[in-house]
């Protein structure tokens, strides 16, 4: 699913039509607050297209937030009327993967979406046996996991480095962010609920291992 954040109804209709005609699932939001709410839902989108000037904030603020959280690898295309070189450079430096100025060609936008999704898929780490990374979803033994945003962040982080022991501090920093007011107990609580959901999907498996005094690892 592609999430479009655009406050101009005419432009939004053009983008949605172009993408759906090519077989993409698209959801449109016109406000920054609405997009933030959707990004916290499960499953998250596979790609975000965002405008910069929005009624309730700046689109690049959202881009910067994404790069500091569990959706840091979400592909982002900026679609903006600001076409100056400095605007493009700023957008890319704040975490956008691509920048397309208005007015734009819908065909070019679709091509850029396809290219960015291909790159994201090629860069995705291979999952341990039983796990499948399907865009922004995770499946275990063919069962899609219904995870919260934080559970998804924890599991994705563990999947990127199976067998490695991840300390609680490292997991807090990776999933909650270095400025989050959370504790080791927060990690333990979310690992517990994540384990329960993995067990529900695959009762014979218990892939998350506890290393007393050290942290957690994911074993194939």
pLDDT of 127 > 70? The answer is no
What CATH number should be reported for the domain holding residue 52? 3.40.50.2300
Beta carbons of 90 and 60 less than 8 angstroms apart: yes
Q: Which of 81, 105, 123 is the last residue of a domain?
A: 123
Looking at residue 178, what is its pLDDT?
A: 64
What count of Cα atoms within 13 Å lies in the side-chain half-sphere of residue 164? 12
**What's the number of domains the chain is made of?**
2
pLDDT of 180 > 70? The answer is no
Residue 142 or 116, more confident: 116
Same domain, 69 and 158: no
pLDDT of 131 > 90? The answer is no
Beta carbons of 210 and 216 less than 8 angstroms apart: yes
Q: What is the DSSP string of 128-171?
A: PTTEEEETTEEEETTEEP---HHHHHHHHHHHHSTTPPBPHHHH
Q: Which band of pLDDT confidence, cut at 50, 70 and 90, is reported for residue 17?
A: very high
Same domain, 148 and 202: yes
Same domain, 53 and 77: yes
Q: Which band of pLDDT confidence, cut at 50, 70 and 90, is reported for residue 26?
A: very high
pLDDT of 106 > 90? The answer is yes
| Containing structural domain, residue 9 | 2-123
Same domain, 143 and 183: yes
pLDDT of 189 > 90? The answer is yes
Spatial distance between the Cα atoms of 135 and 123, rounded to a whole number of angstroms: 11
Same domain, 9 and 97: yes
Same domain, 33 and 115: yes
Same domain, 118 and 138: no
Among residues 156, 116, 110, 158, the alpha carbon closest in space to that of 136 is found at 156
Q: What is the mean pLDDT of the chain?
A: 88
Beta carbons of 138 and 145 less than 8 angstroms apart: yes
Same domain, 110 and 144: no
Looking at residue 163, what is its pLDDT?
A: 87
What CATH number should be reported for the domain holding residue 178? 1.10.10.10
Q: Which band of pLDDT confidence, cut at 50, 70 and 90, is reported for residue 173?
A: confident
Same domain, 112 and 195: no
């Amino acid at each position: 699913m592609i999430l479009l954040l655009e406050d101009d109804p005419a432009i939004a209709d053009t983008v949605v039509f172009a993408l759906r005609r090519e077989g993409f699932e698209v959801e449109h939001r016109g406000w920054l607050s609405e997009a933030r709410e959707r990004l916290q839902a499960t499953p998250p989108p596979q790609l975000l297209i965002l405008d910069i000037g929005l009624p309730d904030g700046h689109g690049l603020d959202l881009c910067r937030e994404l790069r500091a959280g569990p959706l840091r690898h979400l592909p982002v295309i900026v679609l903006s009327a600001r076409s100056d070189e400095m605007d493009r450079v700023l957008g890319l430096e704040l975490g956008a993967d691509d920048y397309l100025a208005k007015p734009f060609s819908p065909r070019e936008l679709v091509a850029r979406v396809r290219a960015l999704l291909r790159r994201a898929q090629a860069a995705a780490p291979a999952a341990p046996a039983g796990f499948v990374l399907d865009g922004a979803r995770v499946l275990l033994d063919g069962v899609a996991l219904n995870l919260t945003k934080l559970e998804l962040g924890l599991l994705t982080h563990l999947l990127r480095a199976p067998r490695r022991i991840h300390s609680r501090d490292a997991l807090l920093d990776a999933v909650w962010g270095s400025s989050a007011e959370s504790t080791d107990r927060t990690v333990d609580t979310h690992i517990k609920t994540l384990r329960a959901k993995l067990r529900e999907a695959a009762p014979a498996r218990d892939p998350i291992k506890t290393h007393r005094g050290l942290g957690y690892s994911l074993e194939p």
